[in-house]
């Protein structure tokens, strides 16, 4: 191996080592945090942070949850972490499904898997509204 070949191979190998943590971190699963470690989570629905919940079909993320305004009087709270490889799911109100952008898994609004590759349901939480306070437990 001449000097040019050595540096060429060392550079490529070094680049791979440099990128390895980013690649492996992308595949790391994130812990699913249950709301209310120490009590239920409450949300002030008048806060501008939750303005999307004023519209039926709107949703927001809070911690590890996705919260959806499912009707004039109801809200749904689920884990936002896809059970396949931990990407963040979104909500598509046109089909009333949670959709994972990474590999296409789809979930119903009760968290059950409608389409893989995910095999396990999203964790669903109890969401109750009282006035302008949403309590998730």
Report the interface residues with ligand FES, using CB under 6 A: 82, 84-85, 87, 100, 102-105, 117-118
Which runs of E-coded beta strand occur in the chain?
A: 41-44, 59-62, 65-69, 75-79, 90-92, 97-99, 106-107, 113-115, 124-125, 127-130, 133-136
CB nearer to ligand FES: pick between 60 and 82:
82
Give the span between the Cα atoms of 97 and 49, in whole angstroms: 23
Peptide bond before residue 83 is cis, with ω within 30 degrees of 0: no
- Min. distance of Cβ 84 from ligand FES in angstroms? 3
Q: What count of Cα atoms within 13 Å lies in the side-chain half-sphere of residue 131?
A: 4
- Min. distance of Cβ 71 from ligand FES in angstroms? 26
- Min. distance of Cβ 23 from ligand FES in angstroms? 15
CB nearer to ligand FES: pick between 41 and 105:
105
- Min. distance of Cβ 65 from ligand FES in angstroms? 16
CB nearer to ligand FES: pick between 58 and 117:
117
Give the span between the Cα atoms of 117 and 71, in whole angstroms: 29
CB nearer to ligand FES: pick between 106 and 129:
106
Give the span between the Cα atoms of 70 and 107, in whole angstroms: 15
CB nearer to ligand FES: pick between 40 and 117:
117
- Min. distance of Cβ 87 from ligand FES in angstroms? 4
């Amino acid at each position: 191996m001449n000097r040019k070949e050595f540096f060429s191979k060392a550079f490529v190998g070094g680049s791979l080592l440099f990128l390895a943590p980013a690649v492996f971190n992308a595949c790391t699963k994130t812990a699913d945090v249950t709301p209310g470690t120490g009590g239920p989570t409450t949300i002030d629905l008048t806060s501008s942070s939750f303005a999307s919940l004023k519209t039926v079909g709107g949703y927001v993320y809070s911690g590890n949850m996705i919260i959806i305004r499912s009707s004039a009087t109801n809200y749904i709270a689920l884990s936002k972490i896809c059970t396949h490889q931990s990407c963040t799911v979104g909500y598509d109100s046109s089909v009333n499904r949670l959709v994972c952008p990474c590999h296409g898994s789809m979930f119903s609004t009760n968290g059950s898997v409608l389409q893989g590759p995910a095999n396990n349901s999203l964790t669903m939480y109890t969401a109750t509204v009282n006035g302008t306070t949403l309590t998730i437990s």
